[in-house]
Structure 1
């Protein structure tokens, strides 16, 4: 008799939960999503707390790693953008480091139209700087905002080159200087 009572209670609770779900008063799918989201947030907080208390040096290195990775991605964005407009595509792009200045660089081996060169020069500032800054402002995330501002400042050399090209005709071509920050301009006759 005890087992039939348990079975009856189980059936009653199933009927009740189905009726709540059908009535629209409670959505189990949303509850599961919120529970998972809450668990993810709790996991991130606990991981941060663990790093902050047990591995302070590792926690301090995370921003440095983000910045170094961002500088490499900055150069990759230059190369990928210029490769879209180069006749030989990615084969025209060369990456390296100017060890004298400890600065990574991206070099396009063939002349590009001024507008394509400028677009390639602007893209890292937009993707790594301006868009994250806007996202940081909208979401109120200080770290994303500061990272975006850093990458806008990291594009200062790119802005300098764009400024130098401001009066050039669109039909002119620009060739990266092979080992200095700068470029050659080929003017159409």
Structure 2
């Protein structure tokens, strides 16, 4: 873009930062983030900070991601805290996970995913009391687990799939095909 004289905007930088997250460019990611405002006059938004928290967290820089959140010029939303919680799971950081959970209980008290995620973090650390406490919290708070779902369009019809649901009229065929695919993947290593 730059070589063709095109000026990047906020959406451009979201794309660049997401690409950095998935490619793992190392120091380039921070350079791009800084260049937004310093070189291109694009002020980072919550989406850009969310990308950076995710990027730093996946790379194992959980403390740096936490510091970035603390330095944000606005209040972080639940999505940013969830990105940090996800990093805590990957890198088994119980201390920061508990801090994040305190924020999420205020911002999104009925969100099911972060309670389950913290429970998994406790399980990884063999903190079974924490696992039990999260399960009690979910039951006491009447927090409903929302199953994963997806939609697919096929032959001009939209098909809805919900995790664990077997109500689709062709579910036997679908699960048979999934099993065949899993067998092929296992055989391929």
Q: TM-score range by the shorter chain?
A: under 0.3
Give the structure-1-normalised TM-score. Answer: 0.21
Structure having the higher strand fraction is: 1
1 or 2 for the larger relative contact order (CA 8 Å, sep ≥6)? 1
Give the structure-2-normalised TM-score. Answer: 0.21
